[in-house]
Structure 1
Amino acid sequence: MTDAPGYRPNVGIVLFHPDGRVWLGRRKGTPPPHNWQFPQGGVDPGEDLETAARRELAEETGVVRATYMGRTDGWILYDFPQDYASSKSARGFKGQKQVWFAFRFDGVEGDFDLEAHGEPEFEAWRWAYLADTPGLIVPFKRHAYAAVAEAFAAFAAKPPTG
């Protein structure tokens, strides 16, 4: 689906550690339990989607050393809840349409700088298992994260079984 009127064009980034875990940021000022997410952000007019993904990754995490691994086919959509009071919904968007990118982290942990660009999106970060991420995100984005986890499962480490 390339045309989705009323949805803000957006990219999402799954940054894979070489061991197959994924980077998650804890959203600044968002109470638990659903306050973890992947970097994501809007696409500027005329901007290439991979370029937007790399820009958002650098702005939100400080990471610039990453290798492209893959992307989702088409757009993954989600709707904002009726009571969602964000600047995006206030601008008339009913939700977001996203193309997701998988990158392998090629840097060192010291590369992470959550204040790399203006107002930080995240206040903390950690490595996690991709399969666990749908349960960590706000419920209205859960189906999108499930689709991303399925799309990138081949790149991901499996959680330990206990």
Structure 2
Amino acid sequence: MIDSEGYQINTGIVIIDNKQQILLVKCFKQDSWQLPQSGIDFGESEFDALFQELNEEIDFSSEHLNVLAKTLKWLRYDLPDYHIKHKQKSVCIAQKQVWFLLRLISDENNIKLDIHTQIEFDDWAWVDYWRPIENMIDFKKPIYEDMLKALTSVFFNNQHKILRLF
């Protein structure tokens, strides 16, 4: 869904394992790594979008994960002009995201990237907490840094409850 200001509304997803590493996924047939994210459709809740995306992309359901935290505010970034599709009916000029921190409580063998017809990712890796910033395209680095800073206290303190941060 694109709001009246041209922002695509979505959820960002940070999954950690029992070794305090973050799940990065590689975009299908590209040399591009990112954290999972999901657009939010009209009338869909953030949680519905989050778990629908995780089910479609990684084959995870709510029984595989515990939600630990959520950013309170929407984090925003603008797209460079060369990424904007000006001829579309609803022009998306940027994204605004609410981010969730989740802990994997099932076995990592449950990660399946190829179960649906539209494969979005073709590889995954567990990485150190700040590594996702290094892998991001330049215009997304500030939002990743802001998000990771906002979730730091929960990540490093291992609190197991939903916190509203940022």
Q: Which amino acid aligns with 2:23?
A: W
Distance 1:121 1:23 in 2: 15
CA shift at 1:30, angstroms? Answer: 2.3
Aligned: 1:102 with 2:96: no
Q: TM-score, normalised by structure 1?
A: 0.85
Superposition map of 1:53-72 within 5 A: 53-64=50-61, 65-72=64-71
Moved over 2 A (4+): 88-91, 154-157
Q: Deviations over 1:85-141 (max 9, x none)?
A: 66x984401011100011100111221111233311111000001212111111111
Choose which of 35, 38, 59 in structure 2 pairs with 1:38: 35
The aligned counterpart of 1:139 is 138
| Structure 1 spans left out of the alignment, 5+ residues | 158-162
Contact 2:84–2:93 under 8 Å retained in 1: no
The aligned counterpart of 1:150 is 149
The aligned counterpart of 1:25 is 25
Contact 2:76–2:143 under 8 Å retained in 1: yes
Aligned residues: CA RMSD: 2.0
Classify the secondary structure of the residue corresponding to 1:10.
Answer: strand
Paired residues, what number?
151
From the superposition, tell whether residues 150 and 123 of structure 1 become closer, same or farther in structure 2 (CA, over 3 Å). same
Give % identity: 29
